[in-house]
Amino acid sequence: MSALGELSAALEVVEEARGQLYGFHRKSGEADLALQGAVRSLRAAGHRELADEIDRVLVGRDTIAGRWTFQLVEDYDAGYWSVFREVERVAREQLAAGVPHVFEAEMKREEQRSGTAPAD
């Protein structure tokens, strides 16, 4: 079961990476909205030329050639995260009758057996 525990731990890292990718996506969107506010403020302050240039070269710009961050998230989900989850699920079905967190459950039993009291 330790191999299944390693696979489960690897999936947890992938889940964390996915969360960070979503964070990147949200922060990039937040930055673009703040930039649009700055462009409006520049225009209102009479700096139309500068505002137009910033608007032209940066507002709505692709994060990576031809792609916005939502597309990175979608591709990660479809091409890696969902495949990883499915592989882990199949391994769990074959090795542990589909029960999740087998390694952690065994660790809990062992630690509590050796004197660690369960939480109230």
| Interhelix angle 69-76/2-44, nearest 10 degrees | 170
Q: Where are the domains of the chain?
A: 2-110
Q: What is the largest CA-CA distance in the chain?
A: 73
3-class SS at 70?
Answer: helix
**Does residue 97 register a pLDDT over 90?**
no
The stretch 70-81 carries a mean pLDDT of 98
Give pLDDT, residue 118. Answer: 66
**Residue 120: pLDDT band with limits 50, 70, 90:** low
Report the alpha-carbon distance of residue 51 to residue 27 in Å, rounded.
22
Report d(CA 14, CA 112) in Å as an integer.
Answer: 29
Which is nearest to 4 in space by CA: 80, 82, 111, 107?
Answer: 107
